[in-house]
């Protein structure tokens, strides 16, 4: 069962120690948010880091790989490039490869995607009546990855009990002086 001994440690702290711990936690959270926002500005992507959630891109990327994205407007989308895109009505972005590009006379570009491990293109995933993706659908383009480091995210999403059990884990490292 879950042990809540760390709550006794918190109760034994004087006010100064408690304020110090709360401020430290606040600094960590605000630093993480600043780093995230900074990455958004530098990469041009609303989500500069994503985790591959399915096996549709194997063997290029496996479930749990952490992808680093950029989304510079001036860079044209090319066939063979791996993009992360959102589909209207779906919350989770999809990581797939650009299969075909369709350029209109006015310069607008539309493109079709497909997972490397899928038998057919993604038209079945797009919203009804949509046959091509547009630049506005792109969250970012894969520029690098770290294998399997995002598996913790998958475990927390697939197994909610894992999430509940791992939350007290940081408290194991807390030792009041």
- Measured CA to CA, the distance from residue 106 to residue 70 in angstroms comes to 25
Q: Which residues 6+ apart lie within 8 Å of 84 measured at CB?
A: 47, 50, 67, 69, 93, 94, 95, 138, 139, 140, 141, 142
Q: Is 122 a catalytic residue?
A: yes
User: Which is catalytic among the residues 45, 65, 122, 137?
Assistant: 122
30 catalytically annotated: no
- H/E stretch holding 124: none
- Cα 162-163-169 angle, rounded to 5 deg: 90
Residue 85: strand, helix, or coil: strand
Q: List the catalytic residue out of 56, 62, 158, 175.
A: 56
Sole residue written with tokens 């549709």: 56
- d(CA 11, CA 154) in angstroms, rounded, equals 34
Q: What is the DSSP pairing of strand 133-134 with strand 82-85?
A: unpaired
Q: Catalytic residue at 102? A: no
Active-site residue among 45, 65, 96, 137?
96
Q: Point out the residues that are catalytic.
A: 56, 96, 122
């Amino acid at each position: 069962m879950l042990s809540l001994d760390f709550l006794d440690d918190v109760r034994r702290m004087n006010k100064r120690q408690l304020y110090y711990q709360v401020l430290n936690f606040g600094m960590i959270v605000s630093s993480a948010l600043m780093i995230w926002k900074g990455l958004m500005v530098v990469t041009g992507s609303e989500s500069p880091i994503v985790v591959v959630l399915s096996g549709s891109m194997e063997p290029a990327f496996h479930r749990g790989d952490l992808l680093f994205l950029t989304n510079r407007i001036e860079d044209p989308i090319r066939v063979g490039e791996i993009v992360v895109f959102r589909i209207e009505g779906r919350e989770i972005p999809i990581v797939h490869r650009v299969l075909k590009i369709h350029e209109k006379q006015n310069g607008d570009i539309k493109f079709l995607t497909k997972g490397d491990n899928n038998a057919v293109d993604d038209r079945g995933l797009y919203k009804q009546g949509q046959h091509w993706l547009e630049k506005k659908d792109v969250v970012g383009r894969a520029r690098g990855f770290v294998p399997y480091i995002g598996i913790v995210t998958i475990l927390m999403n697939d197994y909610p009990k894992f999430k509940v059990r791992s939350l007290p884990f940081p408290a194991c490292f807390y030792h009041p002086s």
